[in-house]
């Protein structure tokens, strides 16, 4: 049996194939072990939310880098096993790289801007951002792209890192308007507003609610402006609940929600 295996290994093609497969298998195992030991330990650390987001960003980036590095190293070793002159190949790739440099400049921009995102703490995994007209949570971060999960629909959007200028970090401030009828005097209106604020403060994930006074004297109402400080990721539901609490408070005080009315005069 052993002699048959040794004879089999004397075949150059079979020997190179077996060594190549073993190299690929070992590379895969090394990556999995690193992911389990190093990345798993970082992801399990108990730290505050901000540090957790930044840590996940660095871990995802380092994980991608490790995957690419091990893959390239594996390919080089397999080429050496197959008898390819890697030194000459690298030199040839350098010449070709100079020719196709313009074609990959966007790819390089993505990597460079990705480094800027990390060094400048622009955003981290878990942060809520606004891209064009979409508000979303940063889902993952890679060497070339950032993936965000839309808050309203749960859709995943992939954004090239070179386009970070189009991304805005969303603050914890949300705003709602309370339309108060003109028939309600200022003192009574302030009492109702305070009741609404108390209701909103009792909502889940709300940190604070502040009366910013009168925003506008509308055609059918006096619009009061409230600033709700909350978790940006929960903002949509918090605003829905706030609007519901406005209606409940109006019902309790016997007030109808103002709406535009048209007076028609006939001769």
> Would you state the pLDDT for residue 4?
57
Residue 48 has, within 13 A of its CA and on its CB side, a CA count of: 2
Q: List CB contacts of 30: < 8 A, sequence separation 6 or more.
A: 70
Per-residue pLDDT in tens (0 to 9) along the chain, 267 residues: 565 555 555 666 777 787 888 888 888 888 888 777 766 655 554 444 444 555 666 666 677 777 778 888 888 888 887 777 766 656 555 555 555 555 556 666 776 677 677 666 677 788 888 888 888 888 887 777 888 999 888 899 988 888 877 888 888 899 999 999 999 999 999 999 999 999 999 998 899 999 999 999 988 899 999 999 998 888 889 999 999 999 999 999 998 888 765 555 555
> Would you state the pLDDT for residue 48?
44
Distance CA 141, CA 137 (A): 11
> Would you state the pLDDT for residue 50?
42
Ordered by start, the domain boundaries in the chain are 11-99, 115-169, 173-252
> Would you state the pLDDT for residue 49?
44
Q: Do domains 115-169 and 173-252 have the same CATH topology?
A: no
Cα–Cα distance list, 254 to 20, 150, 164 (Å): 80, 38, 49
**Three-state helix/strand/coil letters over the chain:** CHHHHHHHHCCHHHHHHHHHHHHHHHHHHHHHHHHHHHHHHHHHCCCCHHHHHHHHHHHHHHHHHHHHHHHHHHHHHHHHHCCCCHHHHHHHHHHHHHHCHHHHHHHHHHHHHHHHHHHCCCCCCCCEEEECCEEEEEEEECCCEEEEEECCCCCEEEEEHHHHHHEEECCCEEEEEEEECCCCCHHHHHHHHHHHHHHHHCCCCEEEEEEEEEEEECCCCEEEEEEEEECHHHHHHHHHHHHHHHHHHHHHCCCCCCCCCCCCCCC
At CA 259, angle to CA 253 and CA 260, rounded to 5?
150
Q: What CATH class does 115-169 carry?
A: mainly beta
Instruction: Evaluate whether the domain defined by 173-252 bears CATH number 3.40.190.10.
Output: no
């Amino acid at each position: 049996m052993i002699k048959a295996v040794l004879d089999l290994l004397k075949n150059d093609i079979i020997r190179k194939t077996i060594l190549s497969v073993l190299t690929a298998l070992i590379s895969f195992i090394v990556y999995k072990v690193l992911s389990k030991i190093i990345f798993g330990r970082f992801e399990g650390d108990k730290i505050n939310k901000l540090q957790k987001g930044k840590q996940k960003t660095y871990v995802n980036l380092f994980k991608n880098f490790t995957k690419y590095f091990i893959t390239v190293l594996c390919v080089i070793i397999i080429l050496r096993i197959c008898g390819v002159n890697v030194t000459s190949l690298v030199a040839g790739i350098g010449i070709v790289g100079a020719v196709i440099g313009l074609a990959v400049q966007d790819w390089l921009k993505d990597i460079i801007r990705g480094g800027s995102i990390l060094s400048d703490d622009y955003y981290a995994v878990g942060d809520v951002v606004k891209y064009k007209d979409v508000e979303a949570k940063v889902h993952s971060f890679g060497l070339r792209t950032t993936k965000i999960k839309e808050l309203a629909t749960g859709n995943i959007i992939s954004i090239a890192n070179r386009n970070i200028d189009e991304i805005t970090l969303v603050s914890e401030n949300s705003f709602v308007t309370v339309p108060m009828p003109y028939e309600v005097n200022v003192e009574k209106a302030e009492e109702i507003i305070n009741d609404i604020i108390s209701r909103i403060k009792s909502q889940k994930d709300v940190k604070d609610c502040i009366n910013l006074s009168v925003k506008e004297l509308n055609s059918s109402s006096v619009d009061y402006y409230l600033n709700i400080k909350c978790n940006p990721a929960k903002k949509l539901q918090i605003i829905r609940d706030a609007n519901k609490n406005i209606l409940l408070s109006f019902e309790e005080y016997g007030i109808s929600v103002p709406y535009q009315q048209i007076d028609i005069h006939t001769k």
